[in-house]
Structure 1
Amino acid sequence: MVIVNLPKIDTDTWVKVSWNEFLEFAEGADFQEGRFYFYQNYMRVEMLPVGFRHGRYNAVISKVVSLFATLKNIKIQELTNTSFRKVGESECQPDLAFYISDAVRFPALNNSPIDINESSPPTLVVEIAASSVNDDLGFKRLLYERLGVKEYWVMDANNNDIIAFEIIDGGSRRITSSQVLPGLEISTVKQAVERSQTQDDGEINRWLLSIF
């Protein structure tokens, strides 16, 4: 896919640009439906359509996290498809992002990208991946390490798997239970996603209540 009007650029792949060039694309009218990422002078614009599977998995993971935090009395704020920007350095627009606990600097309530230099980065970030799974596990993981996110989950929609990482000391390691939501097993999140293929939201919620 190629975008026109502004200088032509391939989408759904990483393209070398300067920060100022990135801003031109990100703020251009032709890109309103795109999701933008910038890291180490490379930009990625994702223009792939979002289908039922992506939307369904996104919603189920959101329910698991929110319900767990509610029942465990953990302070949490959820954001969907929100842009986070460290000016001159990086930008991302994850499927889901969560601020967890009250020990964070919350962003101003406006429609501008969240400035990480002024606010805390999100505590937990989730990407729903199909064609982009290798990128989500690779370059985007480096981006989130740099941004200061504490935990990163990749939902591999092709294999119904969730790969979770704790980010610490500028690096990341694979985890099987959440470190920012103590007591939440990644296998539980995966089971909820698997149940969503045959069960409605009410059934999934009742199952979650029974184990939480």
Structure 2
Amino acid sequence: MVGTASVPQPIVTDEWVPASWAEYMTLLESVVPQDARCYFDAGWMRVEMSPLGALHGRENSIISTLVVLYATLKGLRMVELTNTTFRKTGLQDAQPDIAFYVGQGFDLPPRDNRPIDVLTHGAPQLVIEIASTTLNDDLGKKRLLYERLGSAEYWVVDVQAAQVIAFEIADRRSGQVDESRVLPGLAMTTLEMALERSQHEDDATITRWLLELFGHDTQGG
């Protein structure tokens, strides 16, 4: 008779399922593929295995370039992290598409491949999810996750609609905003114009347009 205790059980993917922190960590260490994206919040876990195609990757790059360029020209201090795990042990675990530490109040992240301990290093001020197949979840459960993680601002990029939905977070509650508070003066309409341009322009052309736009704003301000 063959025992079943050692037979790996199929992983439920792309939906939230109840799990303890210990169960979540066991899955991460033994079952979940390394290319999966994993989330945990208050007794619930989610493993995402949906393939990330060209649309997701392209819009990720456009948004990343825009944010870094804006911060550079505005003289802001910034560190960008892509597909990085941010962890509050026992409470939350998140892997946003892009995350930014912004301002003077953070230390450079550790130079290793362990998850960033949010209790030690703080949560990134800005987190961004590129929603190609996960829009409802990004606007729902993940929004609550980032509220509890401690970030100051959360953007959801709806790549199908070329729309950016931004939330300011304070006191573990969030509300929609049309202009970034973390990157003062940056309107969501600017990001949406860049996404629309990406449908018919190459990245270098878009970057030159952004340089002209942000450079004009800097001179005018």
Alpha-carbon separation, structure 1, partners of 2:46 and 2:112: 24
| Contact kept? 1:107, 1:115, Cα under 8 Å | no
Q: Residues 16-165 of structure 1 correspond to what in structure 2 (within 5 A)?
A: 16-28=18-30, 30-165=32-167
Name the SS for the 1:27 alignment partner: helix
Q: Which ranges in structure 1 are unaligned for 5 or more consecutive residues?
A: none
| Contact kept? 1:107, 1:120, Cα under 8 Å | no
| Superposed CA RMSD | 1.4
Q: How far is 1:199 from its partner?
A: 0.6
Q: What is the letter of the counterpart of residue 109 of structure 1?
A: R
Alpha-carbon separation, structure 2, partners of 1:202 and 1:5: 51
Q: Which ranges in structure 2 are unaligned for 5 or more consecutive residues?
A: 1-5, 215-221
Following TM superposition, where does structure 1 have runs of at least 4 consecutive aligned residues deviating by more than 6 angstroms? none
Alpha-carbon separation, structure 1, partners of 2:100 and 2:196: 22
Name the SS for the 2:208 alignment partner: helix
Query: Identity across aligned pairs (percent)?
Result: 50
Name the SS for the 1:99 alignment partner: strand
Between Structure 1 and Structure 2, whose CA radius of gyration is higher? 2
| Contact kept? 1:107, 1:118, Cα under 8 Å | no
1:53-82 per-position Cα deviation (integer Å, ceiling 9, x unaligned):
000000000010000001111011100000
Alpha-carbon separation, structure 2, partners of 1:107 and 1:41: 27
Q: What is the letter of the counterpart of residue 10 of structure 2?
A: K
Q: How far is 1:159 from its partner?
A: 1.4
TM-score (norm 2): 0.91
TM-score (norm 1): 0.95
Which of 182, 187, 191 is matched with 1:180 structurally?
Answer: 182
How many residues align structurally?
209
